[in-house]
Structure 1
C-alpha cells in the first residue's frame, strides 16, 4: 500500500536533491584540485609532503559535508599506545567511511587495505593509494594479495605506519556489520605479531547515501568510535576478527557511537 502524500517528505526529498548536487560538485572539485596538489607536493617533498596534502584533502571532504547539513563525530573511547603497531578494523557502510578515518587518524600515519580496482581511475584517491603504499589487493589473485599484505605488514612492524582494513569485504547497508574475514589480519599479524587490533564502529554513513552517490540524505548524523584495542596474543586471526566485529556490533546496538565528540 503506497504511503500517503506528505508535504514534509516531498520538501525534504527536494532538499536532498539540491544539497546533494551542491556537495557532489564540491566533492569533485576537491578531488581534482588536490590531485594536482598531491602531485606537486610529492615532487617537492616526497611521500611525507604528499601525505600532508592527502590529509588536507580528507579534511575538505569531511567538513564539506556541512553543505548537506550533515555532521560527523569522531570519538576515541580509549587511549592508544604509541609503542606498538596498530591495525584499525572497521565496519564498512559507504565510501564516506574513508575520508574521516584518513583525517582524524592522521597522527597514526594510516595506510589502507583497498581493492586493486582503485589503483587508477579516481583523481586524488588513486594517486594517494599508490603513493601512500596502500595494499591494493586483487581478490581473484591470492598470490598477489598475499604479497601486498605481507609488504604492508613489514612496514607496520617498523611502526612506519598504521593499517586500516575493512574485513567485511563488502559494504553493509544496514547498521549491523556482516561477518569479518580473518585472512587479511592473519597475514598482517604474521608480519607484525605484536600489533594491536583497534575496532572502529562506524554509524550512519550507509543511511547518508542509501541510493548511491545521488541523492544523499541531508541533515544526517555520522559517527566513528575508536574502541579498546584487542591483544591478539593466544588468538587466531578468525577469533580476533570476531572479537572486533562483536565489539563494533555492541557499540552500534547501544547507539554509543552517537554520543561524545
Structure 2
C-alpha cells in the first residue's frame, strides 16, 4: 500500500509539474525538444515511483528521421509511459477522447501535445487525424495508436478496429508494429494497486515502406496484427480482427 500511495502522489505532482513545463514550452515557442523533455520526465518519474523497469528491443526498426506511425497492443495505462520513456524519438499518442475522464492522465497528455480524438464524431475524428498527420511531418513526430481501441483485460490481443488505421493511410510514413508485455501485471484494468515489475517493448520491421501507395486498410490491419502476435510471448487472437 505504501508503494501505491507513493505512486499516486508522484503521479499527481509530476503531472502538474511536467504538464506546466510543457504548457510553458508551448506558449514561449520552446519547440519539440522541451516538449520531449517534459514528456520523458513525466513518464520516467511515474515509472520510477511504481518500481517499473522498461526494456526495448528492435530500436533499429525506427526511422532515422523519427517520423513514423507505431501500432501497438494495449494492456495497461503504463504502456503509454513505457513508450515515452523507452523510445528515443518524439512520441505522441492518438488516443480516445474518453481519456479526458481521467483527470491526471488527460491533463498530462494534452499539455504534452498528445492527440485525443472523438471516435463517435467521424468528421471531427478525420479532421483531427489530418492535423496530426501534418504535425507528424512538420515536427518529425512518432505517432502511436492502439488498434484495439482499449486495454486488454486478459493480456490477449483484442479485436482490431479498422478505423484505427486511418492515420496510417493518410500519411506516407512507415508503420512500425510494437508488442508491449508486462503492463497487465503492473497495473491491470480496474486495479487500484500498483505492483513493481517490468515492461518489455518489442518493435518489428516497418510494414509499409515510406513513400508507398496507400495500402488496403484490411490488408494493412491483418499484416500489423500478425506482426504484433508474433512478438508477444503468448500468442492468441483474443477475438480476431474487426472491420
Q: Deviations over 1:139-179 (max 9, x none)?
A: 21111111111211223344631210001011112222112
2:37 aligned with 1:59: no
CA change 1:52–1:83 in 2 (3 A) is closer
* Counterpart contact for 1:31–1:125, Cα < 8 Å: no
**Structure 1: which 5+ residue stretches go unaligned?**
1-16, 256-261
Corresponding residue for residue 100 of structure 1: 82
Q: Residue in 1 aligned with 2:119?
A: 139
Residue 169 of structure 1 corresponds to: 149
Q: If the length of structure 2 is used for normalisation, what is the TM-score?
A: 0.82
1:196 corresponds to 2:174 = yes
Contact kept, 8 Å, 2:151 with 2:189, in 1: the verdict is: no
Query: Which moves more between the two structures, 76-85 or 203-212?
Result: 76-85
1:137 deviation in Å? Answer: 1.1
1:50 aligned onto 2:35: yes
**2:177–2:227 CA contact under 8 A, matched in 1:** yes
1:238 counterpart (197, 218, 222): 218
CA contact (8 A) 2:19 2:38 kept: no
Contact kept in structure 1, 2:178 and 2:202, CA below 8 Å? yes
Partner of 1:14: none
Mark the CA change 1:158 to 1:26 in structure 2 (over 3 Å): closer, same or farther.
closer
1:33 maps onto 2:17 in alignment: yes
User: How far apart are residue 213 of structure 1 and its match?
Assistant: 4.4
Partner of residue 116 from structure 1, selected from 97, 119, 134: 97
Would the alpha carbon gap of residues 198 and 211 (structure 1) be closer, same or farther in structure 2, given more than 3 Å must change? closer
Distance (whole Å) between structure 1 residues aligned to residue 109 and residue 151 of structure 2: 22
CA distance in 1, matches of 2:25, 2:59: 34
Change (3 A) 1:114 1:254: closer
User: Pairwise CA RMSD of aligned residues?
Assistant: 2.7
Q: Spell out, residue by residue over 1:7-54, the C-alpha distance to the aligned partner (whole angstroms, 9 max, x if none).
A: xxxxxxxxxx33222222222222222233333333444343233222
User: Based on CA coordinates, which of the two structures has the bigger radius of gyration?
Assistant: 1
Asked if structure 2 preserves the Cα contact closer than 8 Å seen for 1:65 and 1:71, the reply is no
SS of equivalent residue, structure 2 residue 135: helix
Q: TM-score, normalised by structure 1?
A: 0.77
| Kept after mapping to 2: 8 A contact 1:119/1:127 | no
- Mapping of 1:214-253 within 5 angstroms? 214-216=192-194, 218-231=195-208, 233=212, 235-253=215-233
Question: Given the superposition, is the C-alpha separation of residues 175 and 77 from structure 1 closer, same or farther in structure 2, using an over 3 Å criterion?
Answer: farther
Q: Name the CA distance, whole Å, in 1 between partners of 2:66 and 2:193.
A: 42
Please list every run of at least 4 consecutive aligned residues from structure 1 whose deviation after the TM superposition is greater than 4 angstroms: none
